[in-house]
Structures are given as C-alpha cells and as structure tokens.
Amino acid sequence: MHFDKEAYKIAKSRIISLIQSTHDWENTEGFIADGVICPDVYQEQHLRVLCILAESYGYAGCKMKDIEDQREQDVLGLTKWDVGTPRRLASLLYLLQQSAEIGAKLTLEDFLKLSLFKFTEKNMLILQDVLSKIAWMNVKKASNGNGTKLNVSDFRVHARRNQEVLRQQIEAIAPNLILVCGEAAFRALYELRLLGPELSLARKWKMQVVRDGVRVIEVTHPGYFRWAGYPYIYKSFDCIYTQLASRE
C-alpha cells in the first residue's frame, strides 16, 4: 500500500463530511477527526503504523477536534496525568521506531533509563515526536461523554454505523502495520471484515498478514493495568519486534 499525502487530504475532508452527516456532532456527538497525526512526517516512514482503539473520551460536546493539532493542543491527552493510554502506547512505539532507526533492538536497560512516564519537557517532546510518525483512529467516532468505561452494546451499534467511514480511513491511511488495541475494537473490525477475510479471532499478540501484505496485531488495551509497568511494555515491544524481524 502506498500513502499519498495529497490524496489523503482529499479523503480526510470527505470522511469528516460523512461523519458530520451521520452524527449530532454540533451538540452531543462531538468527535476527534482522527487519522494521520502529521502527514508530512508519516509519508516518510518505512514502517507506517496505524493504532486503532475503541473510542475517545471528553470531546462529546466539543464539536470537532482535528488530530493534526496534536502537537499544539494535545488532542490525545499525552500531557494529562490522568490519561495513561497515549503515553503507554507512545512508549511502546518509541521502542519500535528507535530500534528500526538504529537497526538493532533496544534493550530493557536502555528503555528503563528513559523513564518516559515522567512528566518532563524532554519526555513529552520525545513522545510527541513518536506520535507525529503514526496514525491513530477510533472505531466509534462520537466521543464518550459519560465517563471512561466502554459500553459494549453501544459501541457495536456505532461500529456498524461507521463501517464506510472506517473503510475509507484505513484505505487512505495506507498503513503497513496495524495495532488494534483491545478485544472490542478488534472484534468490530473482524465482524465488519474491514481488514479482509484473512483476519482471525483469538490470536492476541500474534501477527496476521491480511490484504496487500498489511500486518495486523491485536494487543491488549493500553488501559490494562499491566501497561503501567515498563517491563510489560518492553515485553510487548519484544513480541512485536521479533515477529516483524522474522518477516523482513
């Protein structure tokens, strides 16, 4: 798959219009216009990573927030102490990106020295740089305004409602590695056949190759308590790195 920055820009505008036409976005279903965080940077990546999650929180009454404003407005909540998912996932992605850059796997000792969970200016710059190289999207577009717990039945309704939006997004983002975070998001993609008929259930942490050679891995959700520890993130990185290396 090839990422075309100009074609993506056109597709994103079309996708936003489609979301707005199917959501009460100006009142109760505000959303993040998600996707590629920094197209100029993303198009230069050899490993184009798309992270797919279930839903966002806190933007239900905010009309629309553009994920491309991440560095200026921290749309994903990277710098908020009570929002763990962006920091944890970005820490895992840092390991993948840096290992690819130096051509060797970073060690656990290297990772522990960084202490990326600490809220320092240096760490935030590192993690913002990590996010600038990826794409990030939610299956459910209407942001959850009622806490931070996923309502599975409501989520499934929204997943079906967004099937065409999601199909167009994945096609425009053109990733070659997709990390699907959490069972709910993965099952939705599977049931809607958005990644092709090759995708199988019950293969968590196992790389699957689907249409056009895209690699897909279902990972546990970064909100899972074990993600709060550096060793678990490193172990998760090691699992993904090993599988990527075996397919080079």
Do 247 and 113 contact (CB within 8 A), yes or no?
Answer: no
pLDDT at 146 over 90: no
Average pLDDT of span 13-29: 96
How many residues are present in the chain? 248
pTM: 0.95
Highest CATH level, class, for 5-246? alpha beta
H or E stretch at 26: none
pLDDT of residue 248 exceeding 70, the answer is: no
The domain locations on the chain are 5-246
- Is it the case that residue 148 has pLDDT exceeding 80? no
If one compares 239 and 58, the residue with the highest pLDDT of the two is: 239
Is it the case that residue 3 has pLDDT exceeding 80? yes
Q: Quick one: pLDDT at residue 217?
A: 97
Better pLDDT: 148 or 100? 100
Instruction: With a cut of 90, say whether residue 230 has pLDDT above it.
Output: yes
d(CA 173, CA 240): 21
Tokens 């921290």 sit at which residue?
74
Q: Quote the percentage of the chain above a pLDDT of 90.
A: 85
**What are the residues whose beta carbons fall under 8 Å from the beta carbon of 22, sequence distance 6 or more?**
161, 162, 165
pLDDT at 247: 67
pLDDT in tens, 185-225: 999 999 999 998 889 998 999 999 998 899 999 999 998 88
